[in-house]
Every structure is written in C-alpha cells, then in structure tokens.
Amino acid sequence: MTVLWFTGLSGAGKTTISTLILQHLHAAGTPAALLDGDALRRGLNSDLGFSDADRTENVRRVGEVARLMTDAGLVVLVALISPFRSDRDRARALFHPGQFIEIHVDAPLEVAEARDPKGLYRQARQGQVRQFTGIASAYESPLNAEICIDTVACTAHEAAEQVLLFLEAPATVLHAGPTNGAV
C-alpha cells in the first residue's frame, strides 16, 4: 500500500486535510489509518522531547510504524511536522519507489501563527515552549514533494480533493505487498 506523508508547520492544516482524506478512503472501503503527530507524541513518542536528535527519532519511529502498517495492507496517512529533509528522506527510503508520497502542506509562518489553534506559537514567543519549529527551530521545506498544497490559496476540502485526484491518476499506483525495509 501507500504512505501519504503530510509535512508542514504547526497550524498549516496537515491533520485537517489528512482527516478529510481518511474519511473519504474509509467511505470508499479503502483500509486506511492516520498517524497524527500530536497523538503519537502523547503515546508512542511521549518519551521524546524536541531536540534535533529527538525530532529525528520521532520521525524514525513513525516511519517504521507506517512501514509496518503498509505491509499489513493499509494506506497510511502521516500528519507530522517532520522538519528536517534528511529525516523525511530516511523515512522515504523504507518504501518502494512511488509508495511514499510526500505532501508539503504549505502555509507561511505568519499564517500558521495567526491560526495557532493550540496557542503554541504564542507560548513559543513568550519563551514557554522551547525549540518550537518555525520560531526557534528550523523547518526545511521539501525540495521535491509529490504534492504541494498552498493552504492560503485553497480550503481544506479543496486540498483534500487535490490529493485524492493525485491518487486517482493513472501514474499513481497503490502498491501492494511488503515494502523493501531498506534504511
């Protein structure tokens, strides 16, 4: 199966868009699951902080779980800031070519900060949240994402439709069978 890896700043719309796609896939009878960064940080990755090394480990773990889930026959949607290109590239290497679809959910910092649904940017500006991506820690935008979504120019529903149209394109293959497991 396929992994749809949504990356972008906090507040860009990763979870909202991936949830809409998940609902569509379920309605169509496609076995799919969502790995959301916030939920993973409360459970599987609750032992990790926000240092560069911990962020790298967070992405590594999520990539491994996504690989296991695709091997089990699921389409996996990952909504994770995953700020470093090298970490996303390592996650991509776990899958066959074409099986990992990187989706850059793009919103300028000022837009993401204005949305700030959890108050995290405000807390980061006040020094209450350290190493916050976009404020005190870098976010490296993808250079060659399969899909780029400008969430200023479109609604979450339009963005989800853009991804679904990509998946329906003849060149897109929802891979079956085990992944290569290469690191």
Q: What's the rounded Cα separation, in Å, for the pair 139 and 21?
A: 24
C-alpha dist (Å) from residue 51 to 13, 41, 48, 131, 164: 23, 14, 8, 7, 34
Supply the pLDDT for residue 123.
84
For the chain, the domains span 3-168
Cβ distance 149 to 105 under 8 Å?
A: yes
DSSP string, 13-81: SHHHHHHHHHHHHHHTT--EEEEEHHHHHHTTTTT--SSHHHHHHHHHHHHHHHHHHHHTT-EEEEE--
Q: What is the pLDDT of residues 33-84, one digit of tens each?
A: 999 998 999 999 999 988 899 999 999 999 999 999 999 999 999 999 999 9
Q: How confident is the model at residue 129 (pLDDT cuts 50, 70, 90)?
A: confident
132 pLDDT band (50/70/90 cuts)? confident
**3-168 in CATH: which number?**
3.40.50.300
Hey, which residues are catalytic here?
82
